[in-house]
Structure 1
Amino acid sequence: MHTPGLRLLPPAVTAIVFAGLTIAVAAHAGALIHADAALVNSARSASLDHPALHSLMAALTRTGGSAVLILAGLVTVAALLAGRLWRAAAFVVVAAVSTTAVRWAVRAAVARPRPAEQLAPAEGWAYPSGHTTSSTLAALVAVALLLRLVDPGPRRSAGIAVVTVWAVGVGLSRVFLAVHWPTDVIGGWLLAATVVPLCAVAIRLRD
């Protein structure tokens, strides 16, 4: 069993990287802004040139929407409570509330505009990406529950692989649809990768 200190190391690293990225975004670092613009323009062009790619990205984005993830979260918590898995249910709630609260606070503080020529409807400030943060939160919660509740084997490995690929895909879809800058997506990945493991340690999910 890992000690709490070792469990805190990965989120400590992601927290430092997230803080550095957030400072760079808020400061409008020139190299970062240019790289973001070049990448989002390339991704947008690829979506326009390949209708199948655009359709795939649009479908992935829909799976990372608030309505889908809130419903999935409520069903998960209800199932855990029905199974008397109190600590696991508390972890899901605390991780969701904490990650969302931090995202809202950072988004309001940075107040970064979105790309101008969007290929999908989107509103609000850009950094960090809400779809990316929420889907990564959901994926990390699913991984934590799989590690806690499912015995090692192909089923657990497949589940972890599926939710990981899905969360990465949702993040990429936001860039291909030109509703977020690449660093918005990276920030969402880092934010969830920081807060969710900290919540698991706080709830003592693995004990």
Structure 2
Amino acid sequence: MVERSGRSEPAVLPALLRAWLGTVAALAALVVVVLGVRYADDSTPGRVDARISAAADGVGPPWRHVALALDFLGEPAGSTMLIVATVAACLLLRRPRAAVLIVAGVGVTVGTATLLKHVVGRTIHGDGNLSYPSGHTAFLTALAVMAALLAPRRLGLGRTAGALLVLAAALVAGAAMGWAQVALGAHYPTDALGGWCTALAVVPATAWLVDRTADRLVDRTADAGRPDRR
């Protein structure tokens, strides 16, 4: 059985989570905009940034090795490995629509983060490195959220449990990568928050678009296969 009759595959954005994720996406987008306006064309840490960075920046072994490993997952080689593995898992589970979401979701999220960096123009260390929002944090958060979206239906979770699972995945991935970026001095904490919120704003919209496009294709294919009745 699927969420809608006549569909060959379940939606990647579960119906029971659409309203909740829509609200989260709207709030996340608001945070991205507010922080972007606040730190536009800035190159200095805010008060909160300074306090958090003082505690997390410059960690030594073994935590620095952990931070470097997490940072690698957001680099081209590491992110490619994660995407390929996740897409392969979706295909093995016979969820091609989910595989499309992984590729599209990552592309739109990272593309949005990159565009925002040039629009906001915040830099770090005074060397021209655009920092807001954190693309690494946005990437890992997006991937975690998209993976978590597959679980509610597969595990038979209800609305509350499914929402908590998606939120937990987003928090763990975002906090881990955000900490790594701050610990390595690559981003301010508010950059990481902006990246986290970017993913939360983009992924639900991308999932909805993937479902809508796939459903239309299924409908057109079904209509084309029906005999012409006159």
- Say whether residues 1:147 and 2:161 are aligned partners: no
What residue is the counterpart of 2:79 in the other structure? 69
Q: CA RMSD in A?
A: 3.3
In structure 2, C-alpha distance between the alignment counterparts of 1:171 and 1:141, rounded to whole Å = 18
What residue is the counterpart of 1:96 in the other structure? 106
Q: State the shift of 1:190 in Å.
A: 0.4
* Count, aligned residues: 195
3-state DSSP of counterpart to 1:204: helix
In structure 2, C-alpha distance between the alignment counterparts of 1:66 and 1:84, rounded to whole Å = 27
C-alpha distance after superposition, 1:62-102 (max 9, x if no partner): 23333222222123223434554232122212211111111
The letter for the 2-side match of 1:131 is: H
The letter for the 1-side match of 2:209 is: A
In structure 1, C-alpha distance between the alignment counterparts of 2:69 and 2:126, rounded to whole Å = 21
Match of 1:16 among 30, 33, 43: 30
3-state DSSP of counterpart to 2:125: coil
In structure 2, C-alpha distance between the alignment counterparts of 1:4 and 1:53, rounded to whole Å = 38
How is 1:80-119 mapped onto 2 (pairs within 5 angstroms)?
80-115=90-125
| TM-score, normalisation: structure 2 | 0.70
Following TM superposition, the consecutive aligned residue runs of length 4 or more in structure 1 with deviations greater than 6 angstroms are 156-160
C-alpha distance after superposition, 1:33-89 (max 9, x if no partner): 2332343233225x1xx4333233223322333322222212322343455423212
The letter for the 2-side match of 1:35 is: V
The letter for the 1-side match of 2:29 is: A
For the pair shown, the structure with the greater C-alpha radius of gyration is 2
3-state DSSP of counterpart to 2:187: coil
Q: State the shift of 1:7 in Å.
A: 4.0
C-alpha distance after superposition, 1:171-196 (max 9, x if no partner): 11111111111111000000001101
Higher helix share: 1
